Amino acid sequence: MNDFDEDDQECDADEFDIESFRRVVLSHWRYLSRSNISNWAIHKRDDNVWQIGAAPVFQECFGGTDDGKRVWSAFEFDLMDFLAEPELIVEECGAMSFQESTNTRPFVGFVGSYKGQPFVFQLNLEPIPNTEPLEILDTIQDVVRPYNGETS
């Protein structure tokens, strides 16, 4: 899943419980600086496997010396606890670093099933390139807020 901007197929909650899966993933995800959201994509492939991706988001700084700068929050992900989730079965997992020739982003990948539904999950370690900021890091008010297309 290399394009979070694709039109994703509507998900049938009876087939894959994405909200529950998202809660499980996020319970093991801890931002190292202020951020409130992550970027998600999901679609069902032709072979009936759910292709899922998650990534940190870009933020735009507002105020101060970094005004207008695009940044993102690093995060930790507890792999051992994630793999121990009771309704999650992981058959394969691996990691890949950036590769310039294929423009592959660094990620950790999982192949398995959740609540009996097959999936491929790509946990991106960096934001998706060329995506718009989804949060404002407001250094004046000392808050993080949703990005609504405003410019600094």
Instruction: With a cut of 80, say whether residue 99 has pLDDT above it.
Output: no
Domain assignment present for 41: yes
CA 34 to chain centroid, in Å, comes to 16
pLDDT value of residue 148: 82
Residue-wise pLDDT for 62-91, tens only, equals 999 999 999 999 999 999 999 999 999 999
pTM of this prediction? 0.84
What does residue 139 show for φ and ψ, rounded to 5 degrees? -80, -15
Find the domain containing 119 and state its range.
Answer: 18-56+66-131
Q: Would you say residue 36 lies in a domain?
A: yes
Count of the separate structural domains present in the chain: 1
* 151: pLDDT strictly greater than 70: no
Closest to 26 measured CA to CA, from 81, 103, 95, 67:
81
Cα gap 136→151, rounded to integer Å = 10
Mean pLDDT of 46-62: 96
Question: In this predicted structure, which of 8-12, 110-114, 127-131 has the lowest mean pLDDT?
Answer: 8-12
Q: 71-88 burial, b for 16+ CB within 10 Å, e for fewer?
A: ebbebeeeeeebeeeeeb
